[in-house]
């Protein structure tokens, strides 16, 4: 948890990581971290690691984990907080955010989806991209029933997750990643999944222009389906919090939260008006 010295907003932010990652992706050990930035801007933020991720105790083999299993932990984290948080989800965490809004409650102050899985059949766009990106990794994933082969080397991990301009090196990224279930990738597709027909929670959808895992056109269609505000981060890869323009992405989120005006925070300036 990051507490601000000067708390401007009572609503906390809860950050949900994606595949292979953990809570560490929101507070990197180099440069300025997103949790640190939001604390400087007056927000309290919370990040947690799913079971079997980033040192979090394993409660069942990661290969057997499912999205509904992960969702139960996200639900518990939301309920643990004294009030409903802004839910921020990256990649698979963005899928879990969509699952939360559909299956748990559409009563959040806001949801921020950071390069999330798309709203509808993820394989329609994602599978051809995966096959072109790493055919051998896809075959190994089927054989091993694990998504770990898709990030099996620093070079493969970097090709999938970050651009050449990222502030994190392939070696540093690879050293932090862990195994992941392949089941979760199948679950975010029919007949197991269809998006909510209507969502009242305000949504911001961020996409990376150079995301190799999720195509920008599919992200745009998904945002339009939900009626979400949509922003593309220029020349950015999948892990927006590690990209060269990570600060700009964080500013975009901050200013959007100010703009929707649900926090009694209208007297506070936008980034461009004095917050640094």
pLDDT tens-digit series, residues 183-197 = 999 999 999 999 999
Which pLDDT score is estimated for 263? 53
pLDDT tens, residue by residue, 132-146? 889 999 999 989 989
Looking at the predicted structure, is the pLDDT value of residue 262 above 70? no
Residue 194 lies in a domain: yes
Report yes or no: 13 and 257 within 8 Å, Cβ to Cβ. no
| Nearest 10 degrees: Cα torsion 240, 11, 97, 205 | -50
Question: What pLDDT score was predicted for residue 197?
Answer: 94
Please check the confidence at residue 266 and state whether its pLDDT lies above 60: no
Establish if 231 belongs to a structural domain.
Answer: yes
Asked if pLDDT for residue 264 goes beyond 60, the answer is no
Query: Phi and psi at residue 202, in whole multiples of 5°?
Result: -60, 135
Which pLDDT score is estimated for 123?
Answer: 80
User: What per-residue confidence (pLDDT) applies to 133?
Assistant: 87
Distance (Å, whole) CA 43 – CA 259:
15
Cβ-in-10-Å burial (0-12, 13-18, 19+) of 24 comes to middle
Q: Which residue, 204, 210, 216, 211, is CA-closest to 250?
A: 204
pTM of the predicted model as reported, rounded to 2 decimal places: 0.92
> Does the pLDDT at position 275 exceed 50?
no
- Domain assignment present for residue 2? The answer is no
Please give, one letter per residue, the 3-state secondary structure of the chain: CECCCCCCCCCCEEEECCCCCCHHHHCCCCCCCHHHHHHHCCCCEEEECCCCCCCCCCCCCHHHCCHHHHHHHHHHHHHHCCCCCEEEEECHHHHHHHHHHHHCCCCCCCEEEECCCCCCCHHHHHHHHHHHHCHHHHHHHHHHCECHHHHCCHHHHHHHHCCCCCCCCHHHHHHHCCCCECHHHHHCCCCCCCCCCCCCCCEEEEEECCCCCCCHHHHHHHHHHHCCEEEEECCCCCCHHHCCCHHHHHHHHHHHHHHHCCCCCCCCCCHHHCCC
Supply the mean pLDDT for the chain: 91
Residue 200 domain boundaries: 13-273
Domain assignment present for residue 128? The answer is yes
Mind listing the pLDDT tens digit for each residue in 139-180?
A: 999 899 899 999 999 999 999 999 999 999 999 999 999 999
Residue 227 lies in a domain: yes
Average pLDDT over residues 55-68: 92
Residues 219-242: tens digit of each pLDDT: 999 999 999 999 999 999 999 999
Work out how many domains the chain is built from and give that number. 1
Question: Rounded distance, CA 30 to CA 41, Å?
Answer: 19
Q: What is the CATH number of the domain that holds 155?
A: 3.40.50.1820
For residue 152, tell me if it sits in a domain. yes
Would residue 182 count as lying in a domain? Answer: yes
Any domain includes 110: yes
């Amino acid at each position: 948890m990051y507490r601000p010295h000067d708390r401007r907003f009572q609503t906390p932010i809860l950050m949900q990581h994606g595949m292979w990652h953990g809570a560490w992706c929101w507070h990197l050990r180099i440069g300025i971290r997103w949790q640190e930035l939001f604390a400087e801007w007056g927000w309290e933020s919370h990040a947690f690691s799913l079971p079997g991720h980033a040192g979090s105790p394993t409660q069942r083999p990661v290969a057997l984990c499912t999205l509904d299993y992960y969702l139960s932990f996200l639900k518990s984290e939301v309920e643990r907080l004294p009030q409903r948080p802004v839910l921020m989800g990256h990649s698979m965490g963005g899928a879990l955010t969509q699952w939360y809004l559909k299956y748990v409650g559409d009563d959040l102050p806001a949801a921020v989806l950071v390069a999330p899985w798309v709203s509808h059949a993820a394989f329609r766009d994602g599978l051809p991209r995966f096959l072109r990106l790493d055919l051998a990794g896809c075959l190994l994933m089927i054989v091993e029933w694990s998504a770990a082969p898709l990030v099996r080397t620093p070079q493969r991990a970097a090709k999938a997750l970050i651009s050449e301009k990222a502030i994190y090196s392939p070696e540093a990224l690879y050293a932090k990643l862990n195994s992941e279930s392949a089941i979760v990738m199948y679950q975010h597709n029919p007949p197991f999944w269809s998006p909510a027909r209507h969502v009242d929670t305000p949504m911001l959808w961020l996409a990376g222009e150079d995301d190799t895992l999720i195509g920008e056109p599919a992200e745009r269609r998904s945002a339009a389906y939900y009626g979400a505000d949509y922003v593309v981060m220029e020349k950015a890869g999948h892990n927006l919090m590690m990209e060269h323009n990570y600060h700009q992405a964080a500013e975009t989120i901050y200013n959007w939260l100010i703009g929707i005006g649900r926090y009694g925070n209208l007297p506070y300036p936008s980034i461009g008006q004095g917050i640094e």
